[in-house]
Structure 1
Amino acid sequence: MKNKYDYPRPQLYRESFQSLDGEWLLNQQTIQVPYPPQAPLSCYQGEIGEHLHYQKTFILDDHMFGKEKSIHLHFGAVDQIAKVFINHQCVGEHQGGYLPFWFDITSFIQDGENLLEVQVTDQLSDLYPYGKQKKKSGGMWYTPVSGIWQSVWLEAVQSHYIQDLKITPSLDQIHLHIETTADYYQVSIVADELFLKEIFHDKDIDIDIPSSYRHLWTTENPYLYRIFIDTDNDHVESYFALRTVEVKNQDILLNGKPIFIHGVLDQGYFHDGLYLPHQMNEYEKDILRMKELGFNCLRKHIKVEPEAFYFACDQLGMLVIQDHVNNGQYHYIRDTVLPNLGFKYRLDHVRGKQLQKYIYQKHMLDTLKHLYNHPCIIGYTIFNEGWGQIQADNMYQLCQDYDSSRFYDATSGWFHQKLSDVQSEHVYFRNKVLKNKQNRPILLSECGGYTRIVDQHVYSSRHYGYGTTHSEEELTDQMIKMYEEMVLPSIDHGLCGCIYTQLSDIEDEINGLYTYDRQVCKVNKQRLLKLQKQIQKAFEEKKRI
């Protein structure tokens, strides 16, 4: 790879790769894929309706040809319903806008030029996950994203190819599950040097890491091992880390030690690409921007990113709390106004919404499977502020059954039911000391959100946020006051983490630590770094670390 982000699936890298990104036709007008048509970077000049017809001609690269090779067509994400055709023949359909999918198109390919067509229907139906998209954007709801919004690519595989990997780490070994039809395969692992090269027949194996090669993954030292897997006709590359996440009493433990989650809400919006940055290495820049301010965690808010984001977090040592993406209806009075007035409980055993429940549950479990191997992900948010919330206890149990190696915030903010790994609170407009009510770690999963306008870097005439400031000094003062009055005293009562709203401005919402274009840091970096050290010291004294 020329660039480490050129390949869209870093957890299962294979050399036989051909990108189809670039110029396509959308409704007979040119568009730059993978940017959604609403994004300036797409260069799309046509109308955007509920039905989108994409077209792309391509010729297979020479290295994709070979005896007994199959050709797979991959989509990173298409919102919401996609029907795919090769040379006017339907090869398959996919529903849901945030997860990857693929089709075997071998029997549809012809010599020379091929025509790929994607018919998309995006009515922003609340049956499907939709996140923060809204047809009439404003406030905390943003411009909708339609159609193709992640990379499209081809790969060539042979009969005994590695279909998937599932890597479960501990502090001294990994459990490796491999999906392949091959009778045997070879595993090679590299730390500072090659230390294992062995042939296996079982599809589930445990591999001990010798003590001399053991390096734990932490935010300060995010050590990654390289792993290579070979069958008789396939070779793939991946990576893993040694790290564990546990919940014990009122602590979240990383590698067996209590950790304070000093985090930021990250919604993954960009001024020019909306759901995508201009270049994939912009994810690295966002991570480093937050590290420069002392933060160690990003709460990825109601959006599943391209794998480049998680790859960058794995490499740079940024913890991630990943939100599942909501479907179902949002009610302003029920889900926002009343909870902020103190009405924070309601039953969520809703009748007559079986299709909504089925779609959400499937997307939730598919997300867990898709992101399983990324060590940066330490926890998941199942429901946020009641949006689409349905049978949270049941969803929590399903998540735990599939992946017990992370913690789960079942109901972030309010409408708590019986099951969750944390006591999750949202506090805006005031500072209060949080008290432990459930004998669980307290996670202040949203707070702050103070606004500051930076002239020449505002992208809407309307402004939205949770408290007004007018300068770098005033915004920094307000943040420090919140941490000193609410966060620091709450550590004594079991607070294990705090998520500040938010990483950057987004459209109307001007409460970011950076402007929407990432050109201006709106706070004082040195003062926030000093604050982080103060928080860490208080936490270590409480935990006697």
Structure 2
Amino acid sequence: MRFTSQLFLLPLAAFTAAQSNTTYSVKTPPLTTNWTYEVGTNPWPEYPRPQLQRSQWQNLNGIWRYENAASLNATEDPPFGQTLENEVLVPSCLESALSGIMETDRLYSWFSTNFTVPSSWSSNQVLLNFGAVDYEATVYINGQQAGFNRGGYYKFTVDVTNYTKFDEDNELLVFVHDPTDSGDYVIPMGKQTLRPSHIFYTPCSGIWQSVWVESAPADFITQLDVDANMDGQVNITVHSSSGTPTPVSVTIYESGCEEAIATHNGTSDSPFQFSVSSPSLWSPDSPTLYNMSITFGSDVVRSYTGFRTISKGTVNGVVRPLLNGQPLFMFGTLDQGFWPDGIYTPPNREAMVYDLEVLKSLGFNMLRKHIKVENDLFYQACDQMGLLLIQDMPALRPLQSYTLANCTSITYLPDPDQQAEFTRQLELLVNQHKSHPSIAVWIIYNEGWGQIIQGYPEFGLTALVKSLDPTRLVDSTTGWYDHGAGDFSDNHHYANPQCGSPFYSTASSPYDPTRIGFQGEFGGIGNNVSIEHLWNVQEAINTINQTYEIDQTLDAWSYRAHKLLTELLEQTEMYACSGGVWTQTTDVEGEVNGLLTYDRRVLRPNVTQWRDDIEALYAALKSRASNETSGMML
């Protein structure tokens, strides 16, 4: 593990004050990582969309121009042909040190850059792609509005063919509106807040995932839906820009080489199936992937898949999750995906994968991506490494309220239009990521955040997710409020687990034996560290004692961790526990309950102890299931 001597004590005033600079440089964050000063000015050079990859493309990441705007009315007079005030790194969060801006309250922003496309593309479409922009993006090319997108976690494409000049400079201007939790906005925003405090963190505004431009034919592939199951059946839908049924050819290659093992001809814009004989199955122990090529007219793209089946079944009278027909104890961490130097944007792929490698080395077979959506390379890394994913829907404005004139406190909840937007973005989440073999479970609501209690909308949303993706399980309400929807009976309890057991806390719900018993969150034990490993913002430091439990020494932390994992083991041996989520992968701002510190420089666990404790959980479930010859699929 690398260490650096670049450690900083930064007062809050220096972090929150507006900073203006015409030339890009990394700002000094409240805490660095080993990658902070390695990012450079050409970040994230990898092709950003590995499951739909074209050969003719250009990466637009790098130094752009940025300027704060006053309001939504700024779009009435866009700054065409003007040099915006500051240089900014794209992708990054404006609030982050890596952006070169590191300012707060960036509700309205302008971004600009120039790009050139070759004349060899002139007979094709020019597609401008954004990995994610938080929250609303209005896109202009050469003085004309070319597109608009709403939703801070989702990739989108703008066909800019009619606005593009070939072999010449093209001006790209983007207006971003990111309200976060200002005013009465109720939008999917996860743990972002304009007022960070303990479990809610610094927000991310702007273009925070990769931007690239590519060439495609007039009728092109817009989305691939691929599910390859344990029986070798490949279910695929090739969506096209025209929606016109067109011949499609799909070839699957032997894992690790370019030897074709199956080719099938189908038709676009409707599902079709074919089989591969005796494929090697994907699992955490053997994450075998197969490359694919898809030909649709003159559009040829590359992709990949893994053969596996996620289901549930009754094993010895207990409802269990099944992977490839076998019961599986799913154990992972609550993974927030925050970085002290990049906020939502990891410094680079190496840094992002480092977290996953640590989890894998400790023996975890899963992680819960907590109310955040990552870039596609993150999901590819989980596919490649064999880490199952429980993917949360980003929560609507959580745990905030407003006060009426009569002093009545009202919790912020979505109105019908805001609920409809939440539903639309939930569909985007599922449709954009359902081809990744690592994703095993979708979560709709976390601890009631943004969840309307009257009418129980989680039942309809669960049915919607199941219709969009019948190949995975759905955890409708992790923690609370649980009215019986979905595949999981999911308890949250700190620090001790209460998993599939005949005891529970009043904040959660009793175990429902008709569903999978699961510990959606537990642990959360903290161990404070010296200032060089802390998010050096006094307001955050002041909240450290709000941690669920503080252990004064690392030996005490290890002792408590072992005791809690032993309790989970006993609940697996005695009762109906089928998995759990430990809080959490890393410290975040005012929280010190990570396996890693926020700077990723200190690993708290005793590696041998944790590996043994985790392996015991897997063995316990296997032992309980060993007398059952086959699970009844549900």
1:57 and 2:117 equivalent?
no
Q: d(CA) in 1 for partners of 2:150 and 2:222?
A: 22
- Say if 1:224 and 1:240, in contact at 8 Å, map to a contact too: yes
1:539 and 2:621 equivalent?
yes
The DSSP-based 3-state class of the residue aligned with 1:380 is: strand
- Return 424-433 or 22-31, whichever deviates more: 424-433
Question: 1:366 maps to what in 2?
Answer: 428
Offset from partner CA, 1:206-261 (integer Å, 9 cap, x none): 111112xx110000100111111123422110001110111223100000000001
Question: 2:526 maps to what in 1?
Answer: 451
Question: 1:299 maps to what in 2?
Answer: 368
Q: d(CA) in 1 for partners of 2:170 and 2:101?
A: 23
Question: 1:326 maps to what in 2?
Answer: 395
The residue correspondences of 1:160-239 to structure 2 (distance < 5 A) are 160-171=219-230, 172-180=232-240, 181=244, 183-192=246-255, 193-201=259-267, 203-211=270-278, 214-239=279-304
The residue correspondences of 1:442-481 to structure 2 (distance < 5 A) are 442-455=517-530, 456-460=532-536, 461-462=541-542, 463=544, 464-481=546-563
Q: Indicate how the Cα distance of structure 1 residues 437 and 47 shifts in structure 2: closer, same or farther if over 3 A, else same.
A: closer
Question: 2:405 maps to what in 1?
Answer: none
Q: Indicate how the Cα distance of structure 1 residues 370 and 332 shifts in structure 2: closer, same or farther if over 3 A, else same.
A: same
Question: 1:386 maps to what in 2?
Answer: 448
Letter matched to residue 534 of structure 2 = V
The DSSP-based 3-state class of the residue aligned with 1:313 is: helix
- 1:141 Cα offset (Å): 0.3
Q: d(CA) in 2 for partners of 1:301 and 1:352?
A: 20
Aligned residue pairs, count: 525
Q: d(CA) in 2 for partners of 1:394 and 1:65?
A: 49
- 1:491 Cα offset (Å): 4.2
- 1:332 Cα offset (Å): 8.1
Q: d(CA) in 2 for partners of 1:491 and 1:270?
A: 37
1:75 and 2:130 equivalent?
yes
Question: 2:342 maps to what in 1?
Answer: 273
Question: 1:342 maps to what in 2?
Answer: none
Offset from partner CA, 1:253-292 (integer Å, 9 cap, x none): 0000000011100010111111111112323221110011
- 1:540 Cα offset (Å): 1.4
1:23 and 2:63 equivalent?
yes
Q: Indicate how the Cα distance of structure 1 residues 66 and 145 shifts in structure 2: closer, same or farther if over 3 A, else same.
A: closer
Q: d(CA) in 1 for partners of 2:584 and 2:308?
A: 27
- 1:500 Cα offset (Å): 0.2
Letter matched to residue 527 of structure 2 = R
Offset from partner CA, 1:479-521 (integer Å, 9 cap, x none): 1101212442244321100100000001111110001111110
Question: 2:605 maps to what in 1?
Answer: 523
- 1:473 Cα offset (Å): 2.2
- 1:162 Cα offset (Å): 2.2
Question: 1:120 maps to what in 2?
Answer: 176
Question: 2:505 maps to what in 1?
Answer: none
The DSSP-based 3-state class of the residue aligned with 1:188 is: strand
- Say if 1:30 and 1:43, in contact at 8 Å, map to a contact too: yes
- Say if 2:397 and 2:413, in contact at 8 Å, map to a contact too: no
Q: Indicate how the Cα distance of structure 1 residues 26 and 396 shifts in structure 2: closer, same or farther if over 3 A, else same.
A: same
Q: d(CA) in 2 for partners of 1:283 and 1:312?
A: 9
- 1:470 Cα offset (Å): 2.9
- 1:329 Cα offset (Å): 4.9
Q: d(CA) in 1 for partners of 2:245 and 2:58?
A: 25
Question: 2:160 maps to what in 1?
Answer: 105
Q: d(CA) in 2 for partners of 1:288 and 1:352?
A: 38
Q: d(CA) in 2 for partners of 1:300 and 1:491?
A: 27
The DSSP-based 3-state class of the residue aligned with 1:12 is: coil
Q: d(CA) in 2 for partners of 1:530 and 1:522?
A: 16
- Return 229-238 or 378-387, whichever deviates more: 229-238
1:37 and 2:98 equivalent?
no
Q: d(CA) in 1 for partners of 2:292 and 2:280?
A: 15
Aligned equivalent of 1:400, options 466, 482, 485: 466
Aligned equivalent of 1:130, options 176, 180, 189: 189
TM-score (norm 1): 0.92
- Say if 1:505 and 1:513, in contact at 8 Å, map to a contact too: yes
Aligned equivalent of 1:246, options 300, 311, 317: 311
Aligned equivalent of 1:159, options 215, 218, 225: 218
The DSSP-based 3-state class of the residue aligned with 1:528 is: helix
Letter matched to residue 609 of structure 2 = R
- Say if 1:265 and 1:499, in contact at 8 Å, map to a contact too: yes
Q: d(CA) in 1 for partners of 2:573 and 2:582?
A: 16
Q: Indicate how the Cα distance of structure 1 residues 113 and 3 shifts in structure 2: closer, same or farther if over 3 A, else same.
A: closer
Offset from partner CA, 1:142-199 (integer Å, 9 cap, x none): 0011111111111111124222211122212111111235732322210143222344
Q: Which stretches in structure 1 are left out of the alignment for 5+ residues?
A: 334-347
The DSSP-based 3-state class of the residue aligned with 2:354 is: helix
Q: d(CA) in 2 for partners of 1:407 and 1:199?
A: 30
- Say if 2:94 and 2:106, in contact at 8 Å, map to a contact too: no
- 1:311 Cα offset (Å): 0.3
Aligned equivalent of 2:198, options 139, 147, 171: 139
Q: d(CA) in 1 for partners of 2:496 and 2:581?
A: 15
- Say if 2:250 and 2:294, in contact at 8 Å, map to a contact too: yes
Letter matched to residue 504 of structure 1 = T
- Say if 1:264 and 1:499, in contact at 8 Å, map to a contact too: yes
Q: d(CA) in 2 for partners of 1:78 and 1:46?
A: 17
The DSSP-based 3-state class of the residue aligned with 1:388 is: coil
- 1:366 Cα offset (Å): 0.9
- 1:138 Cα offset (Å): 1.3
Q: Which stretches in structure 2 are left out of the alignment for 5+ residues?
A: 1-41, 68-84, 403-410, 503-510, 628-634
- Say if 1:78 and 1:148, in contact at 8 Å, map to a contact too: yes
The DSSP-based 3-state class of the residue aligned with 1:11 is: coil
Aligned equivalent of 1:356, options 407, 411, 418: 418
Q: d(CA) in 2 for partners of 1:491 and 1:98?
A: 39
Question: 1:424 maps to what in 2?
Answer: 490
The DSSP-based 3-state class of the residue aligned with 1:10 is: coil
Q: d(CA) in 2 for partners of 1:124 and 1:109?
A: 33
- Say if 2:43 and 2:61, in contact at 8 Å, map to a contact too: no
1:150 and 2:209 equivalent?
yes
1:409 and 2:443 equivalent?
no
Q: d(CA) in 2 for partners of 1:425 and 1:294?
A: 23
Letter matched to residue 295 of structure 2 = D
- Say if 1:24 and 1:31, in contact at 8 Å, map to a contact too: yes
- Say if 1:473 and 1:524, in contact at 8 Å, map to a contact too: no
- Say if 1:266 and 1:298, in contact at 8 Å, map to a contact too: yes
- Return 487-496 or 30-39, whichever deviates more: 487-496
- Return 485-494 or 532-541, whichever deviates more: 485-494
- Say if 2:498 and 2:519, in contact at 8 Å, map to a contact too: no
Q: d(CA) in 1 for partners of 2:340 and 2:43?
A: 23
- Say if 1:492 and 1:542, in contact at 8 Å, map to a contact too: no
- Say if 2:495 and 2:564, in contact at 8 Å, map to a contact too: no
- Return 510-519 or 454-463, whichever deviates more: 454-463
